Amino acid sequence: MQSLCRVAQSGALLTCFSLLCVANGVSALVRSGLSNYTFPDNFMFGVATAAFQIEGGWNAGGLLKANITPVVTLYHWDLPTPLMDLGGWANPKIIDYFEDYARVAFRLFGDVVKYWTTINEIHIHCYHGYGNDYFVPAVKFEGVAEYLCSHYMLLGHARVYHLYDKKFKPYQKGIIGITLDSFFAEPKDEKNSDDVAAAERYLQMRLGQYAHPIYSKEGNYPDLVRERINNLSISQGFSRSRLPVFTSQEVEMLRGSSDFFGLNHYTSILASSSLMEDGWAVPSLDHDTGVKGEQDPKWPIPGAPWLAVHPPGFRKLLNWITKQYGTKVPIIVTENGMSDSGSLNDYERVSYYNRYLEQLLLAIHEDGCNVAGYIAWTLMDDFEWKDGYSVKFGLFHVDYNSPKRTRMPKLSAINYREIVTTKRINFDYIKIPSYKYNQLL
């Protein structure tokens, strides 16, 4: 059996050794609540970490002896300050620097790394770091900088893809892709045509904008995205569109530039059309999208306020991607998970993984979606950007009061271990009383 471990940036390459305690062994629970479907024999499971967010085993090994396959992300938002001072991803020169950096990584690690991801979450990084000031580099030039950032990130990805494809893949025999992120958008009222249009507009603006240039047959930005930003730019008095334009050569360079569709997904929204909401700037990606996103009060929120649990949205998103781009390129779910307060008996996280993975099984077996792998976020409780250590996503609990940062598996780690080893979901894990936790270790 092959396990998969996704690590962000080459500096965290060796953190995967900790996955050993999840991948080995099977619990002795009575399996009366098993899923009807099983995961395919060649389906890959893994756990993700990120170099900036988690302490790593940079000076330790054991990645490969345990038959754990590393998946390395070249860029997960951590840019050297001098490059930020030059404008970061809003400066087209960054494409050359990114290609230089990738060449070094391929030369150093390409003999052992066979799965590469170029960039993690273009949408989130550009929206929060360039359009807003929630993440570094905190440019906050809304309606302009986020589009410059994503435009050059896409071109940087394509340049690195072709570098690997032509110079390294022939003898290193690996694959390379990109990771995009998206919530799913449900129409607030399925009988309201404006809400239905708003949900589709959200998905095109927040996912299609980055996926369409790579995975569609036509290439380039989606027509809806191009027309909407062009028209709003003109009405706002701009002399040209705030969304940059690809040359015909760049369209061809981008189209087909990924061996898999990396997808990060956590939650869904209820979408309705809106001209303006509190907090929106004009211009901005929010205003350009024109969608009010809400959470259904019936959806549980176990931790971070933005993450409401709605498993059916996962299946619907996988189907939306399949309908848009077909089944030729496999989908690898590179992040999926839930935050809470950090309990070892994390029943809500167990339920989250079981129910979301059930939707993934349905997407594979009943809908024909080509999903090749699933990677849980995250291995252990981590530093969640501006939320710091206040939210807990880990399968392992980290005692931050201990000098050794002692780690303990949560019930969700044991549950996930069984899913990985049996290729089935055991829904009875949510029924386990807390006093039996130690018997399962």
Q: What is the mean pLDDT of residues 258-285?
A: 98
pLDDT tier for residue 56 given thresholds of 50, 70 and 90: low
Q: Which amino acid is at 435?
A: Y
pLDDT tier for residue 6 given thresholds of 50, 70 and 90: low
Res 61 pLDDT > 60? yes
Res 4 pLDDT > 70? no
Pairing of strands 184-187, 175-181: unpaired
Q: Is 430 exposed, middle or buried (0-12, 13-18, 19+ CB in 10 A)?
A: middle
pLDDT of residue 435: 63
Q: What is the pTM of this model?
A: 0.93
pLDDT of residue 17: 28
Residue 426 pairs in a beta bridge with: 34
Exposed e or buried b per residue across 248-281, where buried means at least 16 C-beta atoms within 10 angstroms of its C-beta? eebbebbbbbbbbbbbbbbbbbbbbbbeeeeebe
User: Is 294 one of the catalytic residues?
Assistant: no
pLDDT tier for residue 14 given thresholds of 50, 70 and 90: very low
Please pick, among 121, 146, 186, 335, the residue that the annotation labels catalytic: 335
- 10-14, 41-45, 218-222, 409-413 — which is least confidently predicted? 10-14
> How high is the mean pLDDT of the chain?
91
| Tokens of residue 51, six digits | 């170099």
Backbone φ and ψ of 294, nearest 5°: -130, 165
Pairing of strands 184-187, 268-273: parallel
Residue-wise pLDDT for 140-191, tens only, equals 999 999 999 999 999 999 999 999 999 999 999 999 999 999 999 999 999 9
Q: What is the mean pLDDT of residues 214-225?
A: 98
What residues have CB less than 8 Å from 245, skipping those under 6 apart? none
